[in-house]
Amino acid sequence: MEKIWAYKFPVTVSPLTRAYFEGSVEAAPAEVAPAMRALIADPTDTKAAATLSARPEYIGLIRTTCVPTMIEGGHAPNALPQSVSANVNCRIFPGTSRASVQETLAQVIADPEITIAFQDNGTLESIESPLRSDVMQAVGVAVHERAPALSIVPGMSAGATDSMHFRAKDIPAFGVSAVFMEPKDEFAHGLNERLPLATLDPAVKQWETLLRTLLK
SS3 sequence, 117-128?
Answer: CCCCCCCCCCCC
Q: Write the DSSP string, 146-189.
A: H-TT--------SS--THHHHHTTT------------GGG--TT
Q: Are 87 and 70 in contact (CB under 8 A)?
A: yes
**Crossing angle of helices 46-53 and 33-41, rounded to 10°:** 140
In this predicted model, what pLDDT tens digit does every residue of 111-153 receive, in sequence order?
Answer: 999 999 999 888 888 888 888 999 999 999 999 999 998 889 9
Q: What is the CATH number of domain 133-215?
A: 1.10.150.900
Strand partners, 84: 73
Strand partners, 86: 71
Q: Are 44 and 34 in contact (CB under 8 A)?
A: no
Per-residue model confidence as pLDDT tens for the chain (216 residues): 789 989 999 999 999 999 999 999 998 999 999 999 999 999 999 999 999 999 988 988 999 999 999 999 999 999 999 999 999 999 999 889 999 999 999 999 999 999 999 998 888 888 888 889 999 999 999 999 999 988 899 988 877 788 889 988 989 999 888 988 887 788 877 888 888 899 999 999 999 999 999 998
User: Which residue intervals of the chain bear CATH 1.10.150.900?
Assistant: 133-215
Listed in sequence order, the residues at least 6 apart from 132 whose beta carbon sits closer than 8 Å to its beta carbon are: 172, 174
Distance, in Å, from the CA atom of 184 to the CA atom of 170, rounded to the nearest integer, reads 34
What is the DSSP code (8-state) at residue 71?
Answer: E
In this predicted model, what pLDDT tens digit does every residue of 24-42 receive, in sequence order?
Answer: 999 899 999 999 999 999 9
Q: Are 28 and 39 in contact (CB under 8 A)?
A: no
For the question of whether the overall pTM of this predicted structure is more than 0.85, the answer is: no
